[in-house]
Amino acid sequence: MAKKQISDLGDLKGKKVLVRVDFNVPLDKISGEIKNDRRIRGALPTIKALLKAGASVIAMSHLGRPTRDAVADKFLTMDKVAERLADLLEISVAKAGNTVVGAEVTARAAALQPGEVLMLENLRFDPREQKNDAEFGILVAALGNAYVNDAFGTCHNDKDASMVALPMRMKNNGFPRAVGFLVAKELEIIDALMAQPKLPLLAVMGGAKVSDKIAFINVLLSKVDQLLIGGKMAYTFLKAQGHDVGGTRVAPEELLAAQPLLHHIGGKIQLPVDYLAAKSSDLNETKHIVNEAIPADFEGVDIGPRTVEVYSNRIKQAGTVIWNGPVGWFEKPAFSKGTRGIAEAMAHSNAVTIVGGGETAEAVEQFGFDTKMTHVSTGGGAFLAYVEGKPFQSLAQIDDK
């Protein structure tokens, strides 16, 4: 890699390392409990390496989208995250007060001893975080004397002070900046994937909006042998072709986004050959749709069994498979067979299999196939943006080797 990694930071004994992690974990809306700790587990190798080297760690992350209303944000403190991190590390993890910066936080950071971990409060509790505020960066930078970016999932957030203004200030202070193991692995795998993939190269694309992924789709079309479409965006393409999709909602802007891609259908773009539709007023009533219009009071919720078979056969023949976006409403067991089928086909293939983060990663883990993939990315939006070739200001702040 061109960027410095932990091994390039030199002697870390006695250093206080500010580690930007991505602990933006999914929470139960009622209890506030952590539903999936995959992102916390992903940062463990970096944190453990720093502690083993004799450093202390000041971990920082955002969590959710705070309104800065105490009642509304009651589950968005880092308390439970700190507890889970402590359980996984099997050491105590201190929580630094109820504000991100301030006298109490400064005192707790100053008192840190080698081998200890301090968790800052939710970065987005301070409005300056998402404004890339220079003063906020200065205040957080004063807590440590080295910086590590191990938050691939937020690397594309160039307006976050913890990603840009903070490491910029660390440089001004003469302190080193590096990427952690997680970010280094993500960049190396994606770079290799796009430069020298094992052929044939196949992509599976799902999710809701064509408009959100148009740049990503265009990049894929320039590289892949075939792009298999599922999810709600499949109905966008169908409607753009003039097919009746019943009660499936397709926004006008989505139809507009799909138009320039229609000439690829039947060539590089493969649409499902059958669907599962559910009655809008009663999701328990379903229809298997093959070569016919979706009824007006039904909506598409998953790819059908024939499509699973077709797509699975294509995956079996591929050298590399990239997957981004569930192909159905996988959170509901009755509508999860398509997404599960894709995951299972990839898990049992001999291809290099890359899962592009976000909901796709959650689905793969939910079905128990995550350990059978070559790589499951920790960043949905960041994965898309990096493949698209967008420059990341956050990575520009990391020292070159």
Report how many domains make up the chain: 2
Domain contains 40: yes
- Does residue 111 share a domain with residue 208? no
Contact 203, 245 (CB under 8 A): no
Average per-residue pLDDT for the chain: 94
- Does residue 81 share a domain with residue 22? yes
Look up tokens 């403190």; give the residue: 77
- Does residue 206 share a domain with residue 178? no
> In angstroms, how far apart are the furthest CA atoms of the chain?
69
DSSP 8-state secondary structure symbol assigned to residue 373: S
Please determine, for residue 357, whether its predicted confidence score (pLDDT) is greater than 80: no
Instruction: State which of 129, 149, 183 marks the end of a domain.
Output: 183
From start to end of 47-162, where are the E strands? 56-60, 93-95, 117-119, 146-150
pLDDT of residue 185: 94
- Which range of residues forms the domain containing residue 306? 197-388
* CATH number of the domain residue 169 falls in: 3.40.50.1260
188: Cβ–Cβ under 8 A, 6 or more apart, which residues?
1
The closest alpha carbon to 35, from 27, 24, 23, belongs to 27
Reported as a pLDDT band with limits 50, 70 and 90, residue 136 is very high
Task: Please state the pTM of the whole predicted model.
Answer: 0.89
- Does residue 116 share a domain with residue 221? no
Pick left, alpha or beta for residue 132 (phi over 0 → left; psi -120 to 50 → alpha; otherwise beta). Answer: left
pLDDT of residue 380: 85
Contact 383, 324 (CB under 8 A): yes
DSSP 8-state secondary structure symbol assigned to residue 371: G
- Does residue 147 share a domain with residue 121? yes
- Does residue 245 share a domain with residue 108? no
- Tallying the residues shown for the chain, one arrives at 401
Share of the chain above pLDDT 90, in %: 88
pLDDT in tens, 212-248: 889 899 999 999 999 999 999 999 999 999 999 999 9
Please determine, for residue 73, whether its predicted confidence score (pLDDT) is greater than 90: no
Domain contains 18: yes
- Does residue 266 share a domain with residue 157? no
Domain contains 34: yes
Contact 78, 63 (CB under 8 A): yes
Reported as a pLDDT band with limits 50, 70 and 90, residue 1 is low
- Does residue 248 share a domain with residue 179? no
Which residues are catalytic, by number? Answer: 39, 209, 358, 381
pLDDT average, residue stretch 370-377: 94
pLDDT in tens, 148-196: 999 999 999 999 999 999 999 999 999 999 999 999 999 999 998 888 8
Please determine, for residue 71, whether its predicted confidence score (pLDDT) is greater than 80: no
pLDDT of residue 93: 97
Domain contains 397: no
pLDDT average, residue stretch 204-215: 91
Instruction: State which of 183, 212, 241 marks the end of a domain.
Output: 183
